[in-house]
Amino acid sequence: ALAPTAVECSLRKLLSSDSSSSSSSSRGGLAVEWKPDPCDEVEPGVPCTQLYHHPQGSTTVMPCPMETVTSPDGCGALFGGKADGEQCPQITCPKALGVTMKLVCAGGCCPTCWAPDHVVGLDRHTALKNPDVVPPAPEAPTSCGGVRCFEPLCGEGFTKGHVQGDCCYSCVASR
């Protein structure tokens, strides 16, 4: 890799001092810095999340690098001849609980806004006490541990059944 130029270094310094672009934020008086875990350190089955880098000198949101997407053919179909800058939504990331989320590539065609759970806690409703919650289907894959399912209410011509690979029962066509 080439060493950054003086202009690039100055730009990085300017951006890192800008509170809206900074990777640190304040939470209860404590500075919180974060970036995605290195891909070789994520647990199996957890998608690799990498920071998105805008094209040099631009704020245009472009597609994620093809080597990071899970379905390159799907991305090719999605972009279908669209011009640069038209393939992906031109988004900027909001603040959530005082933390600016960052654009990342995590397997999708286009970058998305993201922050790790330890920075912006996600309410996964783990304490939800609901009489409509039912156990997962006995045929569910082992990866469904901790899932919360609901009893399906099936319309005419459909009945409760299991689709291979799903965690919960769903409505399938009656036989």
Q: What are phi and psi of 7, to 5 degrees?
A: -65, -45
Confidence (pLDDT) at 81: 87
pLDDT of 111 above 90: yes
% the chain with pLDDT above 90:
30
How far, in Å, CA of 107 to CA of 110, rounded?
9
How far, in Å, CA of 89 to CA of 53, rounded?
15
Contact 140/164 with Cβ under 8 angstroms? Answer: no
Average pLDDT, the chain: 77
Q: Which two tokens stand for residue 160?
A: 């409760």
Residues 124-153: what's their mean pLDDT? 83
Confidence (pLDDT) at 32: 56
Token pair 């800058």 is found at 85
Contact 51/104 with Cβ under 8 angstroms? Answer: yes
Confidence (pLDDT) at 103: 92
How far, in Å, CA of 15 to CA of 57, rounded?
12
- pLDDT tens digits along 15-63: 343 333 333 444 444 445 778 888 888 787 777 889 998 888 888 999 9
Q: What are phi and psi of 79, to 5 degrees?
A: -80, -25
pLDDT of 6 above 60: no
Contact 102/113 with Cβ under 8 angstroms? Answer: yes
Confidence (pLDDT) at 168: 94
- pLDDT tens digits along 134-148: 899 999 998 888 888
Cα first-last separation, the chain = 61
- pLDDT tens digits along 50-86: 999 888 888 899 999 998 888 889 998 999 889 988 9
How far, in Å, CA of 159 to CA of 175, rounded?
9
